[in-house]
Structure 1
């Protein structure tokens, strides 16, 4: 087997560092109804995005590459092309809700 071997401790450290970045970022940004927070999460196979109003604690819009209409048009759901299509779908849905600007929350990634 070639390549680098990753131990459980290294994986845990990497996740712990991501969570620290997430906490640091979230302490500085917040979404409102007029300017919602766009939270992005990516797993190995899928991408997820939500528009969140932190003042009322509501999710205004949520999409993912698991969605049937998005998944049908993609060969793979965890790559850059899938993220681009997800972004286009999010923009289309957000404009229907009269949302043209967001605060970007990269969620530690």
Structure 2
């Protein structure tokens, strides 16, 4: 399978998933994007078409926080999930809709979800 074919299949899966879910101001969508090196998560209000808050593995505060532990991609993904959960709580959000972005619910995507749950978000 070529790289472009694999990416297109993920995009098709994501579009199929997006046709079934959407976020509101009360219950925003937690969208996750995974690249080779980093992970990005954002809370989106689809009614307004705006991002409420976001977190990624590129942020300095998250990199510094994870230096004590094993700095593998999965542990960093969990820290990103915890961060997005804390930021959501600051905005008064407790319930979300999880958008895995066409990826399998496994590995780094699962770690983001578990971190967000530990921070108090309900799916």
TM-score (norm 1): 0.86
2:85 is aligned with 1:91: yes
User: Is the CA contact 1:47–1:77 (under 8 Å) kept in the aligned structure 2?
Assistant: no
Provide the residue aligned with 1:25 in structure 2.
Answer: 17
Largest Rg, 1 or 2 = 1
Question: Bigger CA drift: 96-105 or 72-81?
Answer: 72-81
User: Residue by residue, what CA displacement relative to the aligned partner does 1:5-60 show, whole Å, maximum 9, x if unpaired?
Assistant: xxxx6211111100100110001100000000000001111110000000011100
Provide the residue aligned with 2:76 in structure 1.
Answer: 82
Distance in 2 (CA, whole Å) between partners of 1:78 and 1:106 is 20
> Which among 101, 104, 108 is matched to residue 95 of structure 2?
101
4+ long deviations beyond 4 Å: 75-78
Query: Unmatched 5+ residue regions in structure 1?
Result: 1-8
User: Residue by residue, what CA displacement relative to the aligned partner does 1:84-107 show, whole Å, maximum 9, x if unpaired?
Assistant: 111111111110101001000011
2:48 is aligned with 1:56: yes
Query: How many Å apart are 1:77 and its aligned residue?
Result: 6.5
> Which among 14, 29, 34 is matched to residue 42 of structure 1?
34
* Cα RMSD after superposing both structures: 1.5
User: Is the CA contact 1:45–1:78 (under 8 Å) kept in the aligned structure 2?
Assistant: no
